[in-house]
Amino acid sequence: MERRTFLGSPAAALGAAPHATGGPPGELPPKFIPTAYALPRSGYSPFTTPDYYTYANDLVIERPRRGQPHQGKVLAAIQPHSDDVPLYCGGTVAKLIDEGYTGYLIRVSNDEAAGRTLGHGVVQNEIDNHAVAKPLGCKKAFSFYYRNHRMDDDAEIEIRARLIFLYRLLQVDTILTLDPYNHYEENPDHLVVSRAAEAACWMAGGDKDYPEHFRAGLKRINVREKYYHARSPQGHNLVNRIVDIGAYIDHKVRANVANVGKGPAGNAGARLRRELAKQGKKLPLLGDSDDTANFAYVKHFLMEDFRLLGEQFGLGYAEAFRYIGPEPDYSANLRRYIDEHAAPL
């Protein structure tokens, strides 16, 4: 990990903006300072990075770490739908698990809106959710089965309570999920799930909420780290952590290929290969089988915006987050000050 100041000064920010984004020079009059940075886009898929990021001045680039620094820790990757984690934070999930975390995948929807019929969507995405967990290295996948695109009609408090139960049961240290403050988000499920997941972090650590859990043997848990990712194709997010996923891009690709029922990946490469063959053509990058076609399609087209994002930071591929880390030990800090400064009466 490397801590650095990304924007040294307002003047530096203005000068750096066109180069940082790879876009054309800005047209802002001198009295204005850019506060959001357009992301370079391949134009291959809407399911990649948002339009703008605002970067915090204490931006951290999280690089691969040797050994198992997260041994003994537990993460939960929470997704409304079967394609959210693979598309938006699959590289980081795979990285953290490879570095020692025990990982769990939690899907909240039944994904009925993604299939040949509603019923087919439910079954296929149930299968996919388990298949997606494997290349990411997750130990187990859960599903809550709320109806797709209708979660603003569900009781958010119930989703939150179910997450509190799982946080306590699994003793979750870290979550990865959609940013609860995704601007311009159009999907109601994303907003409901991210809000519930965020509030559940705080409440899982208390001893007054759902006290029957403790009678059943569960223990409180403080969820100490949160990685919130963007989604909206036209979105704007605050980012303070860029994760280098270069070593895990193939894990991410395989997780997306496993997502057959939903999203832009699955068998898209094989379908394209067949379509071209009917026209007497082929795209050499797709290789000579459905498997090579599916993998290459995802890596070449759907991961391209994550490569372009990484390029901005000198990385092969990257994912971006609003990261919230462990809170300081407030009482220990107070005690230290008091011990150092207390004077005799």
Name the pairing type of β-strands 2-3 and 52-62. antiparallel
Q: How far is the CB of 187 from Zn ion (least distance, A)?
A: 6
- How far, in whole angstroms, is CA 86 from its chain's centroid? 8
Q: Does residue 229 interact with Zn ion by CB under 5 A?
A: no
Q: How far is the CB of 91 from Zn ion (least distance, A)?
A: 17
Q: Which amino acid is at 286?
A: L
Residue 236 or 262 with smaller CB distance to Zn ion? 262
SS (H, E, C) 201-227: HHHCCCCCCCCHHHHCCCCCCCCCEEE
Calpha distance 72→77 (Å, rounded): 17
Q: How far is the CB of 190 from Zn ion (least distance, A)?
A: 6
Name the pairing type of β-strands 74-79 and 102-109. parallel
Residue 20 or 196 with smaller CB distance to Zn ion? 196
CA 253, 1, 332, 71 dihedral sign is: positive
Calpha distance 143→226 (Å, rounded): 20
- The residue assigned the tokens 């496993």 is 258
Would you tell me the crossing angle of helices 118-136 and 90-98 to the nearest 10 degrees? 40
Q: How far is the CB of 125 from Zn ion (least distance, A)?
A: 11
Residue nearest to Zn ion (CB): 81
Task: Lay out the site mask for Zn ion across 28-67 (x = CB under 5 A, - = otherwise).
Answer: ----------------------------------------
Residue 63 or 147 with smaller CB distance to Zn ion? 147
Calpha distance 1→62 (Å, rounded): 4
Q: How far is the CB of 239 from Zn ion (least distance, A)?
A: 20
Residue 80 or 103 with smaller CB distance to Zn ion? 80
Give 12's Cβ-side CA count (13 Å radius): 6
Residue 81 or 251 with smaller CB distance to Zn ion? 81
Q: How far is the CB of 160 from Zn ion (least distance, A)?
A: 18
- Residue count at the site for Zn ion (CB under 5 A)? 3
Give 114's Cβ-side CA count (13 Å radius): 23
Within 63-122, the residues that bind Zn ion by CB under 5 A are: 80-81, 84
Calpha distance 48→232 (Å, rounded): 9
Q: How far is the CB of 109 from Zn ion (least distance, A)?
A: 8
Give 258's Cβ-side CA count (13 Å radius): 23
**DSSP class of 314:** T
Residue 47 or 323 with smaller CB distance to Zn ion? 47
Residue 81 or 229 with smaller CB distance to Zn ion? 81
Rg (CA), the chain: 22
Q: How far is the CB of 282 from Zn ion (least distance, A)?
A: 33
Residue 193 or 293 with smaller CB distance to Zn ion? 193
Binding site for Zn ion (CB under 5 A): 80-81, 84
